[in-house]
Amino acid sequence: MSATSSTPAASHAGCGPLLIIGGAEDPDASDMRILPRFVELAGGSRARVLICSAATAEPASTHRGYRRVFKALGAADVTALSFPTRADADAPSAVRALDEATGVFLTGGDQIRLTSHVAGTEFGRRLVERSRDGLLVAGTSAGAAAMPSTMIARGPGSTVCRACVDLAPGLGLWPDVLVDTHFDRSGRVHRVMAALAQNPGVLGLGIDEDTAVEVDPDGTMRVLGRGVVTVFDGRVRHTNVADVAPDEPIALTHATLHVLPAGYAFDLRATEPVIPDA
């Protein structure tokens, strides 16, 4: 039986500014905590927001809802693109809209739909370039799950085995990280652990609904919203994932877990939680 040895410490800070939302952020709450922060980070009254709804099969209603919220929050301009085909994401007009934006918002839906329509297109490549140059990119639900280089596509999460999670290439906005959303639902822990067994050394994030992480290029990740973010340090010492059948339970040892509510932060370079003052 083979073993995966402990992975050396690695920095997970190699990305631009991101706001990653676990889904179900409430746009009608009187005390919204996440979407106002997105508009603020995008420039406030000077924000030029681009809504990308490539993940959803019903972009019109999604556009109306987010456009209303972002305008009410004070954004100067709100534009929306849906990308029904990959050809639409290769259009020069789509890249121009991206270049004019100060913040991009990737909506929910199906992350496979999002990546199959956007990844590797002119828009997708330019999104990664602009993100690394400092453009704010936010995503909720499917839009959040698709941000890493490797994404959790779907999976029942019935137990910790290879068959409980499907992995696929993501958009590449944040290497060496895995994101799972709606993490307060059942089965999510199982599939993150199974994903870590197949990708030892990455950082796993489980983000509750109406909860988000604000990722700063300086290497700090801050939690905001109403739930918690579960951080899995995937530097495992042993896994037998390569030696068992896809539907058989797998072993995974020495994965470290942190549960962080709003006000807590995480040092992505030191891979250590930051405890707020009492």
Catalytic residue positions? 141, 182, 209
Letter for the amino acid at 84?
A: P
Structure tokens at 165: 């999670």
Are the beta carbons of 14 and 133 closer than 8 angstroms?
Answer: no
CB 219 within 8 A of CB 267: yes
| Pairing mode of beta strands 48-52, 103-106 | parallel
Identify whether the C-beta of residue 219 lies closer than 8 Å to the C-beta of residue 13: yes
Token pair belonging to 83: 């990308």
**Contact by Cβ (8 Å): 219, 225:** no
Q: Hey, is 32 helix, strand or coil?
A: coil
The distance between the two most distant Cα atoms of the chain, rounded to a whole number of Å, is 59
Check: CB of residue 179 under 8 Å from CB of residue 215. no
Instruction: Report how far apart, in Å, the C-alpha atoms of 203 and of each of 28, 199, 256 are.
Output: 32, 9, 10
Nearest CA to 15 out of 170, 164, 243 is that of: 170
Q: Report the alpha-carbon distance of residue 268 to residue 26 in Å, rounded.
A: 28
Burial tier of 90 (Cβ tally within 10 Å: 0-12, 13-18, 19+): middle
Residues near 76 by Cβ (< 8 Å), separated by ≥ 6? Answer: 43, 45, 46, 47, 48
